[in-house]
Amino acid sequence: MEIAFYLVALAVTVLAGAAIAERVGFPAPLGLVVVGVAGSYVPGVPGVHLSADVVLLGLLPPLLYAAAIQTSLVDFNANRRSILLLSVGLVAFTTVGVAVLVHAMLPGLEWWAAFAIGAVVAPPDAVAATSIGRRIGLPRRIVTILEGESLFNDATALVSLRTAIAAGAGAVTLWGVAGDFVIASVGGAAIGFLFFLVVARLRRHITDPILDTAISFVVPFATYIVSEELHSSGIISVVVVGLLLGHKAPTVQTAQSRISERMNWRTIAYFLENTVFMLIGLQARWIVGDVSNSGLSAGRVVAVCGLTFVACVVLRLVWVFAARYALVRPGKDPDSGVVPPASYTFLLGWAGMRGVVTLAAAFVIPADTQYREVLLLIAFTVVAGTLFVQGLSLPWVARRLGVSGPDPLEDALARATVLQQASKAGFRKLRELEYDDPHDVFDLLKQRIEQRNFAAWERLGTTADEEAPSELYARVRLAMINAERARVLEIRSSGQVASEVIADVLTMLDVEESMLDISQQERHEIRTTSVRRTGQSCEDLDTTPAIETVEDPQCVDCLREGTRWVALRQCLVCGNVGCCDSSPRRHATRHFHDTQHPVMESAEPGEDWRWCYIHHATA
């Protein structure tokens, strides 16, 4: 009962701390570390000693799997060179650099132990990097590289750590190191791929979303255990199976299964991520206390911990710039269409926060190792130092370098374009189908799809003081849903209708309300930003440049017919101004059908995008 009480208290503290931190605008991971450190010194709070097995088997597989299934395999492949250079090359570079420093500062420390602590502090943490990076809105390419790096660098670090410990026992050779690395990487990837084949085939025959989600809970642990038992890298296996299952989810899972799995894993990841940072802080008291038994002066301990932290930061910056100019030579960013500037490289180098894997790996160092308590404090210092120094300064550094995150308005433009292209394919399929339509189902389908597309285009409107049709719809419909839900609850209280039926109706209302809420949030973000471009193009867009927008643009057809427009578009061939597809009369599209002029541009202030009617592309 006492253990259960402490677990519940830990969970409540984690959730309350995360909620408070988010409410005051402070990064939740950093806030929970502070709470954990303070809690470790509170009388009555039991000492928490993380073991390597608890972290590497209990926490790491689900965290890596949750991150992997949400990582784009396409984006990962596009940045594979950068990711491999960081996850393998940088880990090795940092391991060697830290080993040389620590060996020089701790008298009598054996080389294998120095390399062991180097491997421990080398890998940035997946949770720390992406949670802070996404929160402050880093560019997608940087977040992708950070995610990919932190998914695979743990494997490199743990293989290096095992090799160093084996060297301390005199059981390692150069060929043995190479063989271990090949077995860990290639074998781990192969096992992950085999698990993917099995689970993907199984999912094709499962329609129950609850069963499908339950299977996904087993996958990371089963994959990790099997891989480790076969002396491969369980981390690589979990990452590979997660990447592939996430990539193939639209074709091997039902829509309900995908929604259920996504929401459940987001909840699990949220709780585990925040718990991890709390546990990091709870280690502070006993790690600092044990250092007094090392026999070293306080000044030397402080110096070796501080210099190791500085070395981890400097070595990463040196490596990323050397890799950029000597090895990678990055091409144009698909989002912006330009080569990423050096400021991106510095930001990538600065976002090297360490996390729980570093602390867990430190416990793998044998208990009889000389200065082990100091090595543990080094690991804790690097974790805390990178989280607070780099984590807290990352938003400021991004602002000073002029690095901005994804543009919501640009995303809205891309979303509308994709929906338009998808609708075109859907209508093409509809025309191929053979069916009798005595009830005008074709017209109903066309109307609903057009309404969906109109709402997507309408979100691009930037007029802050006018309520768009979709906003009016959302406001009125939400009020109606609240009234409908109240009536359903009255019926439920009467007990005259089966509870299962009531639950189904409430779920339908909840789904519709959640979609309206998401739409309103996106609209709010768009109103506070400005559009750039999507990076897409076609032959008509390439040959039709933008022109000067007419002053005080108006839709003449709307004025003549006595209707109101939502937003205006200008033809780039003849300069005609017409209302957009989210307007009642859609005069811009009518102008295209009458003249076949292919390209128009937005005539709204603050918007500079163009649209091709023929290829359904934007630029």
Asked whether residue 12 is assigned to any structural domain, the reply reads: yes
Do 400 and 545 fall within a single domain?
Answer: no
Domain final residue, candidates 361, 381, 406: 406
Tens-digit pLDDT profile for residues 166-210: 877 666 566 666 677 778 888 999 999 999 999 999 998 888 888
Do 549 and 605 fall within a single domain?
Answer: yes
pTM for this structure? 0.73
Average pLDDT for residues 408-437, to the nearest whole number? 73
* Radius of gyration over every alpha carbon of the chain, rounded to an integer in angstroms: 28
Do 351 and 499 fall within a single domain?
Answer: no
Do 414 and 376 fall within a single domain?
Answer: no
Q: Where are the alpha helices (DSSP H) in 106-254?
A: 111-121, 126-136, 140-168, 174-182, 188-203, 209-229, 234-252
DSSP bridge pairs for 610:
601
pLDDT at 258: 86
Strand order in the sheet with 610-612: 577-579, 568-571, 599-602, 610-612, 617-618
Do 269 and 415 fall within a single domain?
Answer: no
The answer on pLDDT for 468 being more than 60 is: yes
Do 482 and 552 fall within a single domain?
Answer: no
| Across 127-136, 219-228, 349-358, least confident range | 127-136
Q: Which of 183-192, 439-448, 463-472, 606-615 has the highest mean pLDDT?
A: 183-192
Domain final residue, candidates 376, 406, 436: 406
Do 420 and 364 fall within a single domain?
Answer: no
Neighbours of 327 (CB within 10 A): 11
The span from the CA of 549 to the CA of 571, in Å, is: 10
Asked whether residue 33 is assigned to any structural domain, the reply reads: yes
Q: Are 413 and 534 in contact (CB under 8 A)?
A: yes
Of 488 and 529, the one with more pLDDT: 488
Q: Are 325 and 301 in contact (CB under 8 A)?
A: no
Q: Within its chain, how far is the Cα of 211 from the centroid? A: 26
pLDDT at 574: 87
Closest to 144 measured CA to CA, from 155, 127, 124, 130? 130
Q: Are 149 and 408 in contact (CB under 8 A)?
A: no
Do 509 and 544 fall within a single domain?
Answer: no
The answer on pLDDT for 354 being more than 80 is: yes
| Across 252-256, 335-339, 340-344, 581-585, least confident range | 335-339
The span from the CA of 449 to the CA of 282, in Å, is: 54
What single letter denotes the amino acid at residue 252? V
Do 402 and 421 fall within a single domain?
Answer: no
Do 342 and 471 fall within a single domain?
Answer: no
CATH for 596 = 3.30.40.10
The span from the CA of 118 to the CA of 130, in Å, is: 23
Asked whether residue 558 is assigned to any structural domain, the reply reads: yes
Domain final residue, candidates 476, 495, 527: 527
In which domain, by residue range, is 555 found? 539-618
Of 192 and 282, the one with more pLDDT: 192
Tens-digit pLDDT profile for residues 360-400: 788 888 878 888 889 989 988 998 898 888 888 887 888 78
Tens-digit pLDDT profile for residues 577-600: 998 876 778 888 889 888 888 888
Asked whether residue 533 is assigned to any structural domain, the reply reads: no
pLDDT at 335: 54
The span from the CA of 309 to the CA of 108, in Å, is: 21
Tokens of 379: 């690991």
Do 546 and 419 fall within a single domain?
Answer: no
Pair type for strands 568-571 and 577-579: antiparallel
Tokens of 421: 């292209």
**Number of structural domains the chain divides into:** 3
Do 384 and 499 fall within a single domain?
Answer: no
